[in-house]
Chains A and B, each alone.
Chain A
Amino acid sequence: MNPTDRYYSSEHEWALLNHDETVSIGITEYAKDELGDLVFLELPALGTSLQKMQKLGEVESVKSVSDLFSPISGEVVEINQNAIDNPEIINEDPYGEGWLLILKPSNSKELEDLMPASEYESFLEHLEH
């Protein structure tokens, strides 16, 4: 189940609005299942400004490599070094310990363009048919 406290992109990333107005970004359960065992994670440097849908990094599994796209625009204020050092935590806990980075959004209204959990789940159902 995808947590209902956050938003989802069609690129299978999630965005969670934190209490301090920053936004945590990660990949979804579906994404990590599709990728399989993750072994490498590449993220942008702190301070990088990202536009919505701009490439923000790469996740690489034993079988394939995928680009990550920023679901919203903003500045990178924190990256999850633990996930870079131990990418398997993304497989184990994609919605918790396996978060990727935190953005300071330039326009938090962009979150509303993303899907709530229920809409993301029907999006997934369409993908599978």
Chain B
Amino acid sequence: MIALATPAVVIPTFGGSPSSYACERANRLFCANWVSRNWSSVLWPALRQHIVLSVVAVAIGFAIAFALALVAHRRRAVERPVILISGVLYTIPSLALFEILVPFRPLGLSARTAEVALVSYTLLILFRNILTGLRDVPDDVREAAAGMGMTARQTLWRVELPLALPSIIAGVRIATVTVIALATVASYICDEGLGVPILAAIQDGVFKTELITAGGLAVALALCADGLLVLLQRALTPWSRAQAR
């Protein structure tokens, strides 16, 4: 971490004209030159790692929540324990959860620990939204599906899941934005993600450009991901925008 943050902490005297470091020397709030100089060595790798961390967390969280929701859709008794456990996981402060997980053998100070924590935060949101989406399918639609001879599996894949899509994607949007924000905290236990430059800047305590840029990138990433998911929903549910003519 220290090695990565070095360019921000020690103002180098080599390379480039002295004037290009004027901003850093004056310690202004935001130095565009610093950003362009550190983009490929610090910011871009951190952003890329952040995307991977978030995507993996949401994907694994979705797979688990989806399977649990399908079971709970058929057996109501499953719903309460799942809500209870995922609810408890959701309320554990993220820093505390990281610290709890680190002593476990296969985890330790690694991205795996971060993923376990991030996944556990997505479960409640995703499970609830998937299950609500499935449950909100109108009874008459289900009745018609059964009455025309669809099997339970055909009804699920051809009718219930497509109709649950808006609710499911709404859940994925919340989970994604949450994970992108939380993943910055993962830098306390592993050297990955936008949290790394943020942490470095906090430890440095003087130079603000790195903090602002990395934080801004996390916000921009969340907004982009949310926007992409909105587009995905529009593409997948053309019927939801069909209005009476």
A binds B: no
* Chain A residues packing against B (C-beta within 8 Å): none
Q: Interface on B for A, CB 8 Å cutoff? A: none
